[in-house]
């Protein structure tokens, strides 16, 4: 697996008369995790969709390494977890998770390990309709990880997950994607989660989205809930919050 930089150059997007994303230039380093935070409806998801190649920017370009997003998608180098789990209702949990590898044309290794990791052991044969909202969301996260993508896009993936599981996933998932060298872009409404999971936090303005603060998260030590209680982490959280309050 190759690590891939993400580079947006003057990428903007409008829907009809509404400008959703103002010309945006960002460079995200390969293997790093970047969190996008900002008020609801500011255009975070649209930025993610442009990076995924699901929306073409009206101006500027989006490149993943030396390739456009769709080329990376075609070779199975992209994966995304949506706000909605979007599982196929006729497939079991295991088959839904394996779908990620199947579509990326990669062997579905470690399905069981991933099922255990996201806390769905014992539910592998269940259909999505038999799971709670949080369990479905965890299956969707596992689906995005199974193909070991170069670029992993997470659109508020933990929103529907209960507090305890969210805390555990926040600790256990990042080492997995970091060890695989994935470049991760994460949308979250939790400032603490942004600080805990990422190497960099981009704070966005209300629509049309533009970057109002670019905060490097330079924390040492294991990334777990205890880290958030350190002075450095608290200071970073305050910095992100005050940037958000300023928008």
Which residues contribute to the site for another protein (CB under 8 A)? 49, 52-54, 70-76, 78-80, 82, 84, 86, 88, 90, 99-100, 103-104, 147, 153
Whether 26 and 211 have beta carbons less than 8 Å apart is answered as yes
Least separation in angstroms between residue 77's CB and another protein is 9
Least separation in angstroms between residue 206's CB and another protein is 25
Least separation in angstroms between residue 88's CB and another protein is 7
Residue 196: both structure tokens together: 């805990």
Least separation in angstroms between residue 68's CB and another protein is 11
Which distant-in-sequence residues (6+ apart) come within 8 Å of 111 by Cβ?
Answer: 94, 97, 98, 101, 146
What's the count of helices (H) and strands (E) in the chain, helices before strands?
8, 9
61 bridge partner residues: 9
Residue placing its CB nearer to another protein in the complex, 41 or 246: 41
DSSP state of 209: B
Least separation in angstroms between residue 154's CB and another protein is 12
Residue placing its CB nearer to another protein in the complex, 25 or 90: 90
Residue placing its CB nearer to another protein in the complex, 140 or 215: 140
Residue placing its CB nearer to another protein in the complex, 99 or 212: 99
Least separation in angstroms between residue 200's CB and another protein is 23
Residue placing its CB nearer to another protein in the complex, 43 or 149: 149
Residue whose structure tokens are 């555990």: 168
Whether 241 and 193 have beta carbons less than 8 Å apart is answered as no
Residue placing its CB nearer to another protein in the complex, 182 or 191: 182
User: How far is residue 182 from each of residues 13, 43, 173, measured CA to CA in Å?
Assistant: 26, 23, 12
Residue whose structure tokens are 């959280």: 237
d(CA 224, CA 77): 28
């Amino acid at each position: 697996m190759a690590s891939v930089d993400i580079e947006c150059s003057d990428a903007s997007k409008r829907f009809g008369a509404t400008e959703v994303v103002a010309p945006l230039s960002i460079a995200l380093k390969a293997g790093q995790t970047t969190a996008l935070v900002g008020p609801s409806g500011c255009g975070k998801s649209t930025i993610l969709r442009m990076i995924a190649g699901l929306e073409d920017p009206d101006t500027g370009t989006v490149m993943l390494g030396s390739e456009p997003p769709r080329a990376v998608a075609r070779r199975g180098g992209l994966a995304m977890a949506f706000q909605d789990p979007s599982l196929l209702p006729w497939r079991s949990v295991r088959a839904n998770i394996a779908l990620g590898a199947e579509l990326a044309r990669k062997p579905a290794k470690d399905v069981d390990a991933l099922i255990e990791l996201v806390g769905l052991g014992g539910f592998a044969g269940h259909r999505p309709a038999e799971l709670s909202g949080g369990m479905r969301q965890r299956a969707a996260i596992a689906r995005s990880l199974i193909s070991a993508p170069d670029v992993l896009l997470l659109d508020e993936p933990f929103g529907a997950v209960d507090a305890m599981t969210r805390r555990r996933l926040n600790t256990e998932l990042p080492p997995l994607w970091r060890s695989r060298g994935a470049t991760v872009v994460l949308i979250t409404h939790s400032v603490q989660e942004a600080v805990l999971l990422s190497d960099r936090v981009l704070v966005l303005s209300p629509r049309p989205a533009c970057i109002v603060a670019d905060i490097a998260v330079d924390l040492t030590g294991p990334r777990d809930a205890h880290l958030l209680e350190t002075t450095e982490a608290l200071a970073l959280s305050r910095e992100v919050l005050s940037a958000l309050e300023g928008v």
